[in-house]
């Protein structure tokens, strides 16, 4: 049995498992249904879009999700809080540190040990999270430029992302899925020499960001493809619950790092870039991407400040133990909690219900930013050209691992 192919083929399987929302018989004259994905490079993962088009004009887009559903919430209900961290990594696999940070912060808040976390641990967390934010935005911008025809930025940004991945590999042992931030502390302290190497990297990266900015954002082709495309008005963005660079691209200065002021972010200086509609209309694809590029600068500023503190008053000591505050037993008191934090994609929230009697959550729900951000796609692509759909998908910057969970 083990070596046999178990799947029984039936032509009706596809129709039964993911039926189209629109029926081909009910289309108007000239309309057609185009299927985009799930295996299509411009969908950035396994996303299937059912596009109803009238010639080149899009009438409606229906996303079909779930190709990467890995039962995160069911797993989380069956595992102790600390053992779920590797699963949290795999939600948004391009920004695992940020997700870990939110998860651990949430569990610490439930346990009431937020104040007991050593300052050095908090600064290291912010440092690695911002490094990961850079890496995530690099993938977003690089692949986005490639989607609409520029190949060079992709290679340049992947090259620079590689440096970040190697730094984080040095810290945690893995390149993408770290399991580095623990509830109450860290896996290990930073390796010796990391701060110096990281500072070198910051110096290296600063001019590179300028290069990319010049090459991408003032490029005529890039502007023509993205300005006035996929305009997302602010009221619609809020009503859809859109967060992160999309919401800021629509002009609202709203960043949870400032609004909630969690971790050590209140002690750090950074600006929140917002879209201004410089090249076209407020909230178009250009604005969203530009916000991401500007956030890279801000992330670098935060990294520098963290390094200053980590080499200054919080520098490593022989007896510093990053696991000092790690609780032996994680059993939060009974209650419901909703905890949120800012990942590169937007507001990542976790809803927990703890029953106070066991080490596993009674219910854990992840409010993923990509899931919510993706839901706006049919609204902003109505009336656009089919070719612009690729530009719109890319500007949403979603990771299907987080959409499908």
Task: Give residues in contact with other proteins (CB under 8 A).
Answer: 6-8, 10, 13, 16-19, 21, 65-66, 69, 71, 73-74, 77, 109, 236, 238-241, 252, 254, 259, 334-338, 340, 347, 349, 351, 353, 362-363, 365, 367, 371-372, 375-376, 379, 404-405
Q: Which of 47/131 has CB closer to other proteins?
A: 47
CB of 198 to other proteins, least distance (A): 34
Helix/strand/coil (H, E, C) string of the chain?
CCCCCCCCCCCCHHHHHCCCCCCHHHCCCCEEEEEECCECHHHCCECEEEEEEECCEEEEEEEECCCCCCCHHHHHHHCCHHHHHHHHHCCCCCCHHHHHHHHHHHHHHHHCCHHHCCHHHHHHHHHHHHHHHHHHHHHHHHHHHHHCCCCHHHHHHHHHHHHHHHHHHHHHCCCCCCCCEECCEECCCCCCCHHHHHHHHHHHHHHHHHHHHHHHHCCHHHHHHHCCCCCCCHHHHHHCCCCCHHHHHCCCCCCHHHHCCCCCHHHCCCCCCCCCCCCCCCCCHHHHHHHHHHHHHHHHHHHHHHHHHHHCCCCCCCCCCCCCCCCCCCCCCCEEEEEEEEECCEEEEEEEEECCCCCCCCEEEEECHHHHHHCCHHHHHCCCEHHHHHHHHHHHCCCHHHHHC
Q: Which of 209/398 has CB closer to other proteins?
A: 398
CB of 248 to other proteins, least distance (A): 13
CB of 171 to other proteins, least distance (A): 31
CB of 354 to other proteins, least distance (A): 11
CB of 92 to other proteins, least distance (A): 16
Q: Which of 142/346 has CB closer to other proteins?
A: 346
Q: Which of 14/318 has CB closer to other proteins?
A: 14
Q: Which of 99/305 has CB closer to other proteins?
A: 99
CB of 372 to other proteins, least distance (A): 6
Q: Which of 11/207 has CB closer to other proteins?
A: 11
Q: Which of 18/213 has CB closer to other proteins?
A: 18
Q: Which of 70/166 has CB closer to other proteins?
A: 70
CB of 47 to other proteins, least distance (A): 13
CB of 305 to other proteins, least distance (A): 25
């Amino acid at each position: 049995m083990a070596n046999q192919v178990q799947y029984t083929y039936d032509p009706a399987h596809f129709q039964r498992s993911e039926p189209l929302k629109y029926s081909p018989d009910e289309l108007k004259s000239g309309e057609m249904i185009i299927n985009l994905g799930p295996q299509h490079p411009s969908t950035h993962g396994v996303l299937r879009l059912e596009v109803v088009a009238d010639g080149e004009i899009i009438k409606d887009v229906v996303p079909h999700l779930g190709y990467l559903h890995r039962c995160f919430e069911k797993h989380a209900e069956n595992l102790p809080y600390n053992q779920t961290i590797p699963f949290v990594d795999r939600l948004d696999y391009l920004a695992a540190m940020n997700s870990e940070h939110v998860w651990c912060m949430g569990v610490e808040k439930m346990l009431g040990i937020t104040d007991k976390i050593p300052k050095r641990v908090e600064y290291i967390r912010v440092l690695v999270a911002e490094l990961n934010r850079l890496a995530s935005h690099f993938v977003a911008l690089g692949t986005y430029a490639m989607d609409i025809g520029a190949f060079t930025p992709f290679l340049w940004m992947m090259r620079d992302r590689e440096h970040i991945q190697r730094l984080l590999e040095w810290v945690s042992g893995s390149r993408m899925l770290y399991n580095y931030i623990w509830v109450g502390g860290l896996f290990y302290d930073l390796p010796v020499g990391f701060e110096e190497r990281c500072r070198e990297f910051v110096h290296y990266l600063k001019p590179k960001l300028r290069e990319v900015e010049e090459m991408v954002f003032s490029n005529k082709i890039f502007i023509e493809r993205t300005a006035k495309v996929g305009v997302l008005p602010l009221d619609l963005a809020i009503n859809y619950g859109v967060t992160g660079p999309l919401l800021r691209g629509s002009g609202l200065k709203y960043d949870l790092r400032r609004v909630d002021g969690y971790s050590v972010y209140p002690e750090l200086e950074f600006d929140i870039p917002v879209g201004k509609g410089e090249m076209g209309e407020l909230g178009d694809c250009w604005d969203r991407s530009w916000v991401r590029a500007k956030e890279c600068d801000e992330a670098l500023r935060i990294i520098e400040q963290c390094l200053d503190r980590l080499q200054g008053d919080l520098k490593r000591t022989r007896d510093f133990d990053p696991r000092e505050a790690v609780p032996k037993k994680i059993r939060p008191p009974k209650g419901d909690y909703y905890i949120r934090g800012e990942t590169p994609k937007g507001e990542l929230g976790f809803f927990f219900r703890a029953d106070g009697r066991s080490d596993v959550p009674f219910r854990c729900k992840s409010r993923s930013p990509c899931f919510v951000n993706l839901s706006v796609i049919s609204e902003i692509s109505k009336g656009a050209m089919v070719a612009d759909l690729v530009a719109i998908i890319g500007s949403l910057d979603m990771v299907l691992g987080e959409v499908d969970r």
